[in-house]
């Protein structure tokens, strides 16, 4: 690290759990962020500010005026531009020393598998179950840790699914693919703006910890936030031995 980097990351380096070694791990890491909206904005901004050396943003949508209430990586001037490109510009304004790739496309399973295989950690910042399950399948297949977040109305949830541990559940253990869940997007249901910031920031925190190998992750736990009464609930989640996604991937 040069003098400028030592200053930029000094408040992380001062932490015993991180230090120079941990900061080097972040600089050498590659994070894949699926979705550059409400969750992806704060998550990616913290990854960038913290010095994650390579960040890949995937989003096929464009910035809309209705996004700006909560999707803080975007600006009024960028309405109509691709979200991935808009978020990339914000991340590089925060930290021009990192490499940010913007993919303005909806990725199919093959592309997703390649992207996940090339990443050290994956952040699911999407808002629909089909994509969440596709991302989970790719992470289980490539044995990459997945940091999952979701927010709707005044409710949020966040967890980590880490297929490297063997005994940990995957996303599909918790939300089976064949079960019909109410697929309600923010685009139709409304969402309390700061909650995507709370959950997105927690996703960034978990991703940074996983990249540095510090602390204990949320693997095996689901944190649920009732933002209207500001109460957190943490529940333990176990592996489903009959899960069609991860049952064959026992280490
Ligand atoms: Zn599973």
The residues facing 157 across adjacent strands are 150, 224
Q: How far is the CA of 237 from the centre of ligand 1 (A)?
A: 11
pLDDT at res. 52:
98
Q: How far is the CA of 172 from the centre of ligand 1 (A)?
A: 5
Q: How far is the CA of 108 from the centre of ligand 1 (A)?
A: 21
Residues measured by CB to lie within 5 Å of ligand 1, the ion: 170, 172-173, 243, 245-246
Q: How far is the CA of 148 from the centre of ligand 1 (A)?
A: 14
In order of 6, 27, 140, 204, 209, the CA distances from 50 in angstroms are 12, 9, 26, 9, 11
- What gap in Å lies between CA 164 and CA 95, rounded to an integer? 31
Q: How far is the CA of 174 from the centre of ligand 1 (A)?
A: 7
Nearest to 250 by CA among 164, 184, 123: 164
pLDDT at res. 160:
98
pLDDT at res. 165:
76
Mark 26-46 as b/e (b = at least 16 C-beta within 10 Å). bbebbbbbbbbbbbbbbbbbb
pLDDT at res. 109:
93
- What gap in Å lies between CA 147 and CA 188, rounded to an integer? 24
Q: How far is the CA of 236 from the centre of ligand 1 (A)?
A: 15
**Tokens 């689901």 map to which residue?**
222
pLDDT at res. 95:
98
Catalytic residue among 170, 186, 243, 246: 186
Phi, psi (deg, nearest 5) at residue 124: -90, 105
- Check residue 53 and report its DSSP letter: S
pLDDT at res. 183:
62
In order of 23, 28, 58, the CA distances from 5 in angstroms are 10, 14, 27
Q: Average pLDDT of each block of 10 consecutive residues along the chain (251 residues)?
A: 96 97 98 98 98 98 97 98 98 98 94 97 94 96 97 97 89 85 67 98 98 97 98 96 84 47
Q: How far is the CA of 158 from the centre of ligand 1 (A)?
A: 17
Q: How far is the CA of 182 from the centre of ligand 1 (A)?
A: 20
CB 50 within 8 A of CB 121: no
User: Per the structure block, which two tokens stand in for 28?
Assistant: 């050498």
Q: How far is the CA of 132 from the centre of ligand 1 (A)?
A: 13
pLDDT at res. 251:
47
What is the widest separation between alpha-carbon atoms in the chain? 53
Annotation marks residue 186 as catalytic: yes
User: Per the structure block, which two tokens stand in for 228?
Assistant: 């209207």
């Amino acid at each position: 690290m040069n003098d400028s980097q030592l200053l930029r990351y000094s408040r992380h380096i001062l932490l015993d759990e991180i230090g120079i070694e941990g900061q080097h791990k972040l600089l050498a890491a590659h994070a894949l962020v699926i979705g550059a909206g409400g969750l992806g904005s704060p998550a990616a901004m913290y990854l960038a500010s913290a010095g994650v050396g390579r960040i890949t943003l995937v989003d096929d949508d464009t910035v809309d005026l209705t996004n700006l209430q909560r999707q803080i990586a975007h600006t009024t001037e960028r309405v109509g531009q691709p979200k991935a490109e808009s978020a990339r510009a914000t991340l590089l304004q925060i930290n021009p020393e990192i490499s940010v790739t913007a993919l303005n496309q909806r990725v199919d399973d093959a592309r997703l598998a390649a992207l996940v295989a090339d990443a050290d950690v994956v952040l699911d910042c999407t808002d629909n179950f089909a994509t969440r399950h596709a991302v989970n399948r790719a992470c289980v297949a490539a044995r990459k840790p997945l940091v999952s977040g979701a927010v709707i109305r005044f409710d949020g949830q966040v967890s980590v699914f880490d297929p490297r541990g063997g005994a940990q559940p995957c996303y599909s253990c918790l939300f089976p693919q064949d079960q019909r869940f109410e697929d309600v997007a923010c685009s139709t249901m409304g969402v309390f703006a700061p909650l995507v910031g709370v959950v997105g920031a927690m996703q960034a925190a978990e991703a940074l910890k996983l990249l540095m190998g510090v602390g204990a992750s949320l693997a095996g736990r689901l944190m649920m936030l009732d933002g209207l009464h500001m109460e957190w609930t943490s529940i333990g989640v176990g592996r489903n031995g009959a899960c069609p996604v991860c049952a064959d991937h026992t280490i």
